[in-house]
Amino acid sequence: MDKSFNPFDPEAMMKMMQQMPFADMMPKMPGFDPAALNDMQSRNMEAFQAANSAASAAYKDLFAKQVELMKTMMSEAKANADAARDPAKAQEVMTAGVQKAMDLSTELAGEAQKANARAWEIVSARMRDSISELEEMAKPK
């Protein structure tokens, strides 16, 4: 295997899988279809790539929201600090700011959880399909 191979790169994984001689690796069994197994594995890799793409897009969006949130919070903090020369008012502003940050952090964590759940849905559906396909392949013809 190439030392620069990245196992987290879906395209590299697909290329590696296509180069492997599955038909030669498998014992010659009556009714065994190496091409069907190869097709199934290709669908598995496509599902992993789709899950990875979905998660990547969601996390990219999440990161953009975090950056925008940080800019907004810093701008608000500066405006509030300038406006709150009174210590009691400053405490009130600080408490409100902390609560807002906590609420927004909870929202962002929820979005990350949704991204992970969507990726898992894709992978687990493909796993169920793969098991069904393997069971079908193993049935006597």
Q: What is the 3-state secondary structure (H, E, C) of the chain?
A: CCCCCCCCCHHHHHHHHHHCCHHHHCCCCCCCCHHHHHHHHHHHHHHHHHHHHHHHHHHHHHHHHHHHHHHHHHHHHHHHHHHCCCHHHHHHHHHHHHHHHHHHHHHHHHHHHHHHHHHHHHHHHHHHHHHHHHHHHHCCC
For 30-83, the pLDDT digits (tens) are 666 778 878 888 888 888 888 888 888 888 988 888 888 888 877 877 777 766
- Look at residue 7 in the predicted model and tell me its pLDDT: 66
Q: What is the mean pLDDT of the chain?
A: 80
Q: Give the up-direction half-sphere exposure of residue 102: CA atoms within 13 A in the CB hemisphere.
A: 6
How many angstroms separate the CA atoms of 132 and 43, rounded?
Answer: 13
49, 14 Cβ separation under 8 angstroms: yes
Q: Is the pLDDT of residue 125 over 80?
A: yes
* Residue 2 in this model has a pLDDT that exceeds 60: no
- For residue 83, what are the contacts with CB-CB under 8 A and spacing of at least 6? 89, 93
Q: What predicted TM-score, i.e. pTM, was given to this entire model?
A: 0.56
